[in-house]
Amino acid sequence: MAYARWLAGRIARGGWGSSGGSARSLARLRPRWHARACAAALPPAILACQYLDRRWSSCETSAGAGSGSSSSSIIRFRVDVDRPGLLSEATEVLKKQEVNIRDARISTKQGTKATHIYLVEDRNGGGLSEDRLAQVRGALGQLAEGSCEAAPWPRYSSEEVLKHQTAENGIWVSYKDGVYDITDFVQNHPGGKDKIMLAAGKAIDPFWRIYQQHTGRGNALELLESMRIGDLSDPPAARASCDCPYDSDPERHPGLIFHNNKPCNAELPSELMMDSWLTPNPVWFIRHHHPVPVMDPEDYRLCIEGVGTKAVTLCLEDLKKRFLKREVCATLQCGGNRRSELDQIEKTSGIPWGFGAMSTARWGGVYLREVLQHCAGLSHENVEAFDVKHVIFKGMDGMEASIPIEKALSPYGDVLLAYEMNGEALPSEHGAPVRVIVPGVVGVRNVKWVGRVVASTEEAEGPWQRGLAYKGFSPMVKELQGIDVEKIPSMHELPVQSAIVSPKAGSIIELDDVEVKGFAWSGGGRGIVRVDVSIDEGKTWVTAELTNGKDQDYNRAWAWTFWEASVPVPEELQGKEFTVLCRAVDAAYSTQPERPEPLWNLRGLNCNCWHRVPIRHQE
């Protein structure tokens, strides 16, 4: 952690009267009360006490670091001979002293030496007074003789923070009244290095007012707090009022399962999933990265440009009147669908979706290939001559992504510039006036509110294409140090998927047969050949009956397929708990893997293991 490195460095450099010596390792402990404490906005103090073999004690308070008075203190307590249980004993003593503990750490050295480190604050907030320090010292003295040294928590000005914008000098940011060293985190930022570097040396508050998922889920705040290195001596005055950029977002259906509101990320509930093969517009799953843009359809313009093209600008009426209307039924699925199942193995990075981050619609619009070829002049000859490899879509919300030119121009790719959804004008929530529909690929490539289409020799810039957000890593990769993320291909076609919609987990059934219903889908337009269902951990399987969606072309099956199965409950399972399993087989005869463990990855993408639903039979 950045703070741990900073503290160890101060100790190693002899900070606060240290006798020197660097920490060999720093193990971070997160007590149960840490998450609650991290939510507080109060500045922390650090308690680190040094137990000595000698039987003497003293306590010194040194002058403050930085300008102005400090509201916090730093106290050290070193252990020459560590012993099991000392950390928990000291923790209990501090709790009895009503010292608020925000974090606990141990820094070990060669041999038996260690430093026990606590982030604390006084019960009334702020640093420890001389009297409180004496009380704490006396209480710890009941465990062993020791010495305490106190120093103020560092304070930095905005001018000082501004000097730290490179890896060489350290990359610092401020948030509210805190200063943070994010140097080692930059490479692992889910939104990409380029995005976070916009805030290097600056306050991140304006950025987080736009990307409110950072504060909505809380884990970003906790992670940021672990990198805190001091207080901001000149924090900006609180804004008296703020026009929230999300105030103009449309109203949403209350039946959706909301993971975030700003930006909105909500999934289709299982109870509504199979009511209709085409998902009704109001309950379609929502995946936004920014506020919903406000655009008058009369003012809308779509720019087509790039290598090998002649630049053209089209209005909405041009798309409707100059091109034949096409319709495509397609399911869109977020790459993180079912991420919550991977989180049960080890926490990943992203929204903890269930299996409802997907929906299906009949999209109406014009084929992208017809606009590119017949209006912008992007012929196959030009593709070869100008080495066109990708088509980039740029949304009016600042999001961009790209697809290979082969998909964009394929007469069987069915890529749409869509202005209708399920027979109605495209809702603003889902990309009005115009969005891109790229059937068979991950949802993020289906850019909403598209304003520019660019033929290019390279794929799109940004975290959604070149960053780590939609790239899969080995289960062994837990951080990205030394990995060139841009060289790893981005997600496009998704693997075969199926899930059980009914019965729900925890259901009690009384009949001799389990009635099971669900859906199946595969990327790349690969149709569903078969779905198997088991209730005995895969020893035997029942083949499900395919229903809605089964008649799609096996090579252009862009939408999901519903299925149902009646599974007899054998005598040995009657009156007992058991798990219903399903697995799908697509037109390439690919099937779902059994377990989630081999699928685990840092970003929690492409979870398509057998879906498991525990239920109980009651005689």
CA atoms within 13 A on the CB side of 262: 14
Q: Exactly one of 3, 118, 300, 470 is catalytic; which is it?
A: 470
- Cβ-contact 594, 541 below 8 angstroms: no
User: How far is residue 348's CA from residue 340's CA, in Å, rounded to a whole number?
Assistant: 9
CA distances from residue 457 to 367, 382, 410, 462 in whole angstroms, order as listed: 21, 12, 18, 16
Tokens representing 388 are 């066109």
- Cβ-contact 49, 136 below 8 angstroms: no
Concerning whether 617 is annotated as a catalytic residue, the answer is no
Cβ-count burial of 482 within 10 angstroms (0-12 exposed, 13-18 middle, 19+ buried)?
exposed
Give one DSSP letter per residue of 352-373, joined into a string.
---S-SEEEEEEEEEEHHHHHH
| Owner of token pair 């010495």 | 147
CB proximity list for 252: less than 8 A, separation 6 or greater: 258, 264, 266, 286, 429
Q: What stretch of H or E contains 206?
A: helix 205-210
Q: Exactly one of 49, 264, 334, 607 is catalytic; which is it?
A: 334
Concerning whether 470 is annotated as a catalytic residue, the answer is yes
Tokens representing 335 are 């790459």
Q: Exactly one of 34, 164, 189, 611 is catalytic; which is it?
A: 189
Instruction: Give the three-class secondary structure for 393.
Output: strand
User: How far is residue 591's CA from residue 541's CA, in Å, rounded to a whole number?
Assistant: 14
- Cβ-contact 409, 369 below 8 angstroms: yes
Q: Exactly one of 102, 116, 155, 214 is catalytic; which is it?
A: 214
User: How far is residue 554's CA from residue 537's CA, in Å, rounded to a whole number?
Assistant: 29
DSSP state of 445: G
Question: 553-577 burial string, b = 16+ CB within 10 Å, else e?
Answer: eeebbbbbbbbbbebebeeeeeeee
User: How far is residue 62's CA from residue 329's CA, in Å, rounded to a whole number?
Assistant: 71
Q: Exactly one of 10, 287, 338, 611 is catalytic; which is it?
A: 287
CA distances from residue 240 to 210, 262, 421 in whole angstroms, order as listed: 18, 20, 41
Concerning whether 189 is annotated as a catalytic residue, the answer is yes
Instruction: Give the three-class secondary structure for 340.
Output: helix
Positive or negative: CA dihedral 118, 121, 122, 126: positive
Concerning whether 175 is annotated as a catalytic residue, the answer is no
Concerning whether 334 is annotated as a catalytic residue, the answer is yes
User: How far is residue 194's CA from residue 464's CA, in Å, rounded to a whole number?
Assistant: 12
DSSP state of 252: -
CA atoms within 13 A on the CB side of 341: 22
- Residues serving a catalytic function are 189, 214, 287, 334, 470
